[in-house]
Amino acid sequence: MILSFVLYNSAFSQNFSSFVFSFGKFNALEKDIGVLESGIELRANITDFLTLNQIIGIMTTSKMSNYFYFGLCKEIIFDSYFITPSFAIGLYTKGRGKDLGNLLEFRSQVGISYVKKKGLRVGMSFNHISNGGFADYNPGVESLSFFLILY
């Protein structure tokens, strides 16, 4: 519902010009092979060298875990390639999935993408989500995803 509001709120959506659709493996470094994730993210598309871009998104897993987040990213451009480090803070609900120890979780991510054609980039990302030690239990989780960026 919040994401719908963001999509249709003209004052907010004027700043966002990239949609990221992702699909990948949740808990990628563990032997739990059956958990997939998908997500959608909105990114500000500012080309100023010093400016950090805003992001907002939601990720869900095949075990009904959900992560709603907002944060910052920086797109570093090399010809037709982009390297995009990002950091986000968000709310995680475990559903039937992995307990991360807290409702409040932090995500750090790096992605690499390639301009396939005007208006479309493809790439992959790796991220780590954890509560940063704000809870006694902090197992963390990593994900490996493929994504499409429409801009």
Q: Encode pLDDT of 103-141 as tens digits.
A: 999 999 999 999 999 999 999 999 999 999 999 999 999
Whole-model pTM: value is 0.86
Give the single-character DSSP code of 72.
E
Chain mean position to CA 116: 20
**pLDDT tens, residue by residue, 42-81:** 998 766 667 899 999 999 999 999 999 999 999 999 999 9
Q: How far apart are the first and last CA of the chain?
A: 23
Q: Give the CATH class of 18-150.
A: mainly beta
Query: Which residues have CB under 8 Å from 53's CB, separation 6+?
Result: 43, 44, 45, 46, 72, 73, 74, 75
The residue whose two tokens read 């598309």 is 45
Closest CA to 122 of 149, 83, 84: 149
Distances (CA, A) of 6 to 10, 31, 58, 81: 8, 36, 12, 28
Domain ranges (residues) in the chain:
18-150
Q: Which element (helix H / strand E) includes 5? A: helix 2-8
